Structure 1
Amino acid sequence: MVPNLGSAILLIAVLSAPGRAEIRQPVSAEAVEGAELNLTCSHASISNENVFWYRQFPNRAPQYIVSGYQGLFNSSDPEGALHIPKDRKSSALALSRARLADAAVYYCALSDTV
Structure 2
Amino acid sequence: MLLLLIPNIDFAGDSGAQSVTQPEAHVLVSEEASLTMNCTYSASGYPALFWYVQYPGEGPQLLLKASRDKEKGIDKGFEATYNRDSKSFHLEKGSVQASDSAVYYCAMSDTVTGTAGGAERKL
> Which residue does 1:52 correspond to in 2?
50
Counterpart CA distance in 2 for 1:10 and 1:90 is 19
Q: Structure 1 stretches of 5 or more lacking a match? A: 1-6
Task: Quote how far apart the aligned CAs of 1:45 are.
Answer: 3.1
- Structure 1 runs (4+) deviating above 4 angstroms are none
* 1:87 and 2:85 correspond: yes
In structure 2, which of residues 83, 90, 98 is the aligned counterpart of residue 100 of structure 1?
A: 98
* RMSD of aligned residue pairs (Cα, Å): 2.0
Q: Structure 2 stretches of 5 or more lacking a match? A: 111-123
Q: Which has the higher strand share?
A: 1
Identity of aligned residues (%): 28
- Give the TM-score of the pair, scaled to structure 1: 0.79
**Deviations 1:13-64, CA, capped at 9 Å, x for gaps:** 1473642622211111121110110011111335331100000012211111
**Deviations 1:64-112, CA, capped at 9 Å, x for gaps:** 11111321424232x1211222325111010121111101110001116
- Give the TM-score of the pair, scaled to structure 2: 0.74
* 1:16 and 2:11 correspond: yes
Counterpart CA distance in 2 for 1:15 and 1:24 is 5
